Structure 1
Amino acid sequence: MKILAFAGSISSDSINRKLVEYVSSRFDGHDVELLDLNDYEMPFFSSDREREIGVHPLAQKFADKIDASDLIIMSLAEYNSAYTAAFKNVFDWVSRIKGRKHFGEKPIFLLSTAPGPGGGKNVSEVFMKRAPFSGAHVLTNFVLPKFKETFEEGKGIIDEEKRAELEEKIDLVISHINP
């Protein structure tokens, strides 16, 4: 099973990257590739740029990674109740590839976290509304609020209730990919 994992952030100290690394490490025995959106930095999408250069080669490379995977695990950072500009830009460029939906009809385990009590639930809701139109089959989602209080480097999720919730959701995803 090939799993593609990434955080929807380009921050060097991204808490969403820490969460996606932790969660993807829980998929023992599977081939996990962790991407960094910094490796897919492109100029902001516009129709003018598309006319000028066509589909950006990094967008095609990102789409190829999606197509080669069996499952996507992504953790979306929430900026002002929505996606980061970095994630949205990759999303916009990939949307211009002819004959495909953004996420290639792949199953997705959606994650989000934030320092506050919402944990990124707004960006999760935004993505879940968009997912059916973008070829994203969200199997389940997990929101971790108050990251600095509920997560500890080297240990992972230290809040018992949230850890149990995550374990249930990991089992659900594994049962989907290993029926």
Structure 2
Amino acid sequence: MASIVAFAGSNSSSSINFSLVKHTVSLIQGQDIELMNMASTTFPMYGEDREEQLGFPEALVKLQKKIENADALILSVNEHNGGPSAYFKNLLDWLSRSNKKYLENTKVFLMSTSPGQRGAMSAHEYVKNTLPRFKGEVIASFILPSFHTNFKEGEGIIEPQLKEAHSNALNSFISEL
């Protein structure tokens, strides 16, 4: 049984990326999964002076330990203005400061979604290219375009081809654990 940490790179209380993560973990059986809602977790904006004077925020230290102790990570990232949200980019900055290899030996299922037709593709690609710098291995990825058209709460992904693509990506990820 693998230990999996699952969360969205969004701190919005109505995060569609968190909805996608919740749906995804509901499809997994036989694994130890910790689903984290980041809406109530805040981090100060990263700055060298802040780090030097006050150290690492307690919430960050707890999250980093969970990630470092997990075998795998399920992550869905949102997009603001063509890149990852400031919240998620800030989280990456903090995590990388305390341990450059915080994802070592961690397999990642990377997803993204947005209301638009590109499904947060730019943020997805940014994160997909960034995680290996911290020793994470992106095993599978999935992009869900037009969230409000293709996803229904309680049912999940409703468009057949996208549902199949998600299932294939998830099965590929699970088979690597």
TM-score by length of 1: 0.93
Residue 115 of structure 2 is matched in structure 1 by 115
Deviations 1:33-71 (A, max 9, x none): 111223431211101101101222222111101012111
State how 1:137-152 maps to structure 2 within 5 Å. 137-152=137-152
Q: Secondary structure at the match of 2:80?
A: coil
**1:55 matched to 2:56:** yes
Residue 38 of structure 1 is matched in structure 2 by 39
**1:86 matched to 2:87:** yes
Identical pairs, percent: 35
Q: CA deviation at 1:149?
A: 0.5
Q: Secondary structure at the match of 1:44?
A: coil
Deviations 1:117-172 (A, max 9, x none): 00111111111221221222100110000000000111100000000111111111
Q: CA deviation at 1:81?
A: 1.3
| Structure 1 letter corresponding to 2:128 | M
Residue 168 of structure 1 is matched in structure 2 by 168
Q: Secondary structure at the match of 2:97?
A: coil
Deviations 1:15-35 (A, max 9, x none): 000000001111112111111
Please give the alpha-carbon distance, in whole angstroms, between the structure 1 residues aligned to 2:45 and 2:81: 19
Aligned pair in 2 of structure 1 residues 119, 15: CA closer, same or farther (>3 Å)? Answer: same
| Structure 2 letter corresponding to 1:25 | S
Q: Secondary structure at the match of 1:32?
A: strand
RMSD of aligned residue pairs (Cα, Å): 1.3
TM-score by length of 2: 0.94
Unaligned ranges ≥5, structure 2: none
8 Å Cα contact 2:13-2:39 kept in structure 1: no
| Structure 2 letter corresponding to 1:156 | G
Residue 12 of structure 1 is matched in structure 2 by 13
Q: Secondary structure at the match of 2:175?
A: helix
Q: Secondary structure at the match of 1:154?
A: coil
Please give the alpha-carbon distance, in whole angstroms, between the structure 1 residues aligned to 2:105 and 2:93: 17
